[in-house]
Amino acid sequence: MNRKKRIAGLLRKRVLILDGAMGTELQKRGMPAGVCPEAWCLANPGAVTQIHSAYRETGADCVYTATFGANRIKMGQYGLTNVRETNRTLAEVAVRTAGRGLVAGDIGPTGRFVEPFGDLPFEEAVALFKEQAQGLLEGGVDLFVIETMMDIQEARAALIAVREISDLFAIVTMTYEKHGRTLNGTDPVSALVTLQGLGADAVGCNCSSGPEAMLEMIAAMKPHARVPLVAKPNAGLPKLVGDATVFDLEAAGFGAFGGRFAAAGVNLMGGCCGTTPDHIRALRESLAAARPVAPVRSSSTAVSSARGALILERGKPLVTVGGRLNAADNETLRRELLAGEMATVRRAAREQEKEGAALLLVQAAAPGLDEKDVLGKIIGALSPTTRPPLLIDAGRIETVADALRSYPGRALVRVAAGRESMETLLPVAAKYGAAPVLGFPAEGEPAACRKAIREAIGEARRCGFTKDDIVVEIKIAAPVPQPEALATALGIISWCGERLGCRTLLDLTGAGKGLPEGKWLQASLLAAAQAAGVTLVVADPSAAELMHIRAAGELLLTAS
């Protein structure tokens, strides 16, 4: 049976039990401080075999290979370069020991933050994780686990590396601080949206905390999860006793949390720091009768940045997309980008977020600018500090691919109408987990427009998107739309929501441009589109007339 199908079948039947801590168990068997753990494991395979066997005997369905730090950066600190061989050999040790159990190829962090959060180049990170994953794959692992990630960009690099060489089941678990965010500010829901969009087969958290705090993280993720959820908590909180770090939760107390985690929606569970084979035995016993809660969603319209997620649910308030980061329409921005400066970019993002924009449009095509280079720099400048996710507008396939590959979240990306554009851009959006915005002009017969939209949605679904992933943009001629075109646009917006169940977008930034009363024309269009059920509008959130009309419309629509 296909290994991925086997895992999916097991997950339908019960909560899968993962193993516990590896490092502390190695120390119990003689591993001294200050050595490379993976090198010690290679020299002492019997100790590793004992640990795998103990976890299997006490109930673990899946053991992790002893390769947590087997990447070029961490091994390089000890002067070691045999990365691929190390991963292959330690995978083979686990496979020989596991019997009929599953073996997960364990990939841990490098210890460095990845651009734009740190100095490790993104493509370098992808390459070193690919080297590690290749060795694990050669060693015969059944699945991959990317764990203890504190940097969403590093997690993305590792997942892309795995996906580019294998279609095996892939788990990604992040590690969160006491405030519920990673070291560089990502919360559990944002990480979930990003990683499940990028192709992770299961997402969750490990290390982080004891079971109590981790329960809250699983509960927060479950309503938005399209994939199984994973928890590997520590054995309580660490305490320093003499020179040793110990954890305060005994096996029975740890196992008692199993039922609560199953009820919260966890689908795979094990232990992290301080847990032992006894902890896994207690967990297995507590989960023996638990029925797994399958992912509650098969699809969802959700986008994310490294610092926040936006769920585009029907019936919710109209979403404003800040439109001031458009180099073609903003001469001040264009001149600054030509000079290689990012102060206006950061300021415009910060101001629009404060004014109420929940998303930001970014468009770098303008005279004199290298669109690909500039767009990458804008994404790098915004990602560490900006909460609103991005709507990326770029025409060239290379520009779109580079932008989506480097963006540490799940972006919206504009895809122009027409078979050529869709055939080239939709697969790229699918590979990197972006949500496509399919654009259609409000011209000609409404029936022809509806047919074109249905055909485009069909093309998107063939690329793996669901209707919930897709946003339909209806484009009106600027600066003043003709009455027929306006009626078509509003009718299509209503039809998309009521008949297709798709989210819709209307760009107001060109409407009324250059006209004395242009701001009121935009406000009138917003009110009409809002009444028709539009989901998102691209606008300037500092325009008081627009925001007042938007607020009044929400009040009236909610009251009705």
Dump pLDDT digits (tens) for 154-198.
999 999 999 999 999 999 999 999 889 999 999 999 999 999 999
Please say if the pLDDT value at position 145 is more than 70.
yes
**Higher-confidence residue: 56 or 442?**
56
| Cβ-proximal residues to 28 (8 Å cutoff; 6+ apart), any chain | none
151-165, 217-231, 239-253, range with the lowest pLDDT: 239-253
Q: What is the pLDDT of residue 559?
A: 63
CA neighbor of 147 nearest in space, from 54, 27, 43, 62:
62
521 versus 559: the higher-pLDDT residue is 521
Q: Residue 236's pLDDT band (boundaries 50, 70, 90)?
A: confident
Give the mean model confidence (pLDDT) for residues 343-372: 96
Q: What single-letter DSSP state applies at residue 196?
A: H
- pLDDT value of residue 430: 95
Residue 438, CA distances (Å) to 1, 148, 231, 376, 402 in order: 38, 37, 37, 22, 20
Among 60-69, 305-314, 403-412, 513-522, the least confident range: 513-522
| Residue range 373-400, pLDDT digits in tens | 999 999 999 999 999 999 999 988 999 9
Cα–Cα dist 128/123, whole Å: 9
pLDDT confidence tier of residue 554, bands split at 50, 70 and 90: confident
Which of 257, 265, 267, 268 shows the shortest CA–CA distance to 223?
Answer: 265
Lowest mean pLDDT among 12-21, 124-133, 210-219, 480-489: 480-489
pLDDT at 514: 74
Task: Considering only residues 210 and 83, tell me which one the structure prediction assigns the higher pLDDT.
Answer: 83
SS3 342: coil
Cα gap 370→348, rounded to integer Å: 21
- Residues facing residue 410 across a β-bridge: 304
Q: Which long-range contacts (CB under 8 A, 24 or more apart) does 511-515 make?
A: 511/476, 511/478, 511/479, 511/480, 511/481, 512/478, 512/479, 512/480, 513/478, 513/479, 514/479, 515/479, 515/480
pLDDT at 528 over 90: yes
Q: List the single range of 4-13, 340-349, 397-406, 549-558 with lowest mean pLDDT.
A: 549-558
pLDDT exceeds 90 at position 512: no
What is d(CA 108, CA 245) in angstroms, rounded to the nearest whole number?
21
Identify residue 459 by its one-letter amino acid code: E
Fill in the DSSP letter of residue 497. Answer: I
H-assigned helices in 58-118? 72-76, 83-98
What is the separation of C-alpha 372 from the centre of its chain, rounded to a whole number of angstroms? 23
Closest CA to 321 of 440, 232, 407, 413: 413
**Which of 139-143, 225-229, 256-260, 293-297 is predicted with the least confidence, judged by mean pLDDT?**
293-297
- Angstrom distance (rounded) from CA 432 to CA 402: 10
The Cα 239–Cα 176 span in angstroms is: 18
Is residue 323's pLDDT more than 70?
Answer: yes
The pLDDT, as a whole number, for residue 30 is 94
Q: What is the pLDDT of residue 320?
A: 96
Mean pLDDT of the chain: 93
Closest CA to 20 of 50, 64, 53: 64
Please name the residues in contact with 79: beta carbons below 8 A apart, sequence gap of 6 or more. none
CA gap 287, 17 in Å, rounded: 9
The CB density around residue 444, as the number of other CB atoms within 10 Å, is 12
CA quadruple 150, 378, 352, 547: dihedral positive or negative?
Answer: negative
Token output for 276: 């032992």
Distance CA 162, CA 165 (A): 6
Per-residue confidence band for 560, with pLDDT thresholds at 50, 70 and 90: low
Which range, 237-251, 308-322, 361-375, has the best average confidence (pLDDT)? 361-375
What percent of the chain has pLDDT above 70? 99
| Phi, psi torsion values for 421, nearest 5 degrees | -60, -45
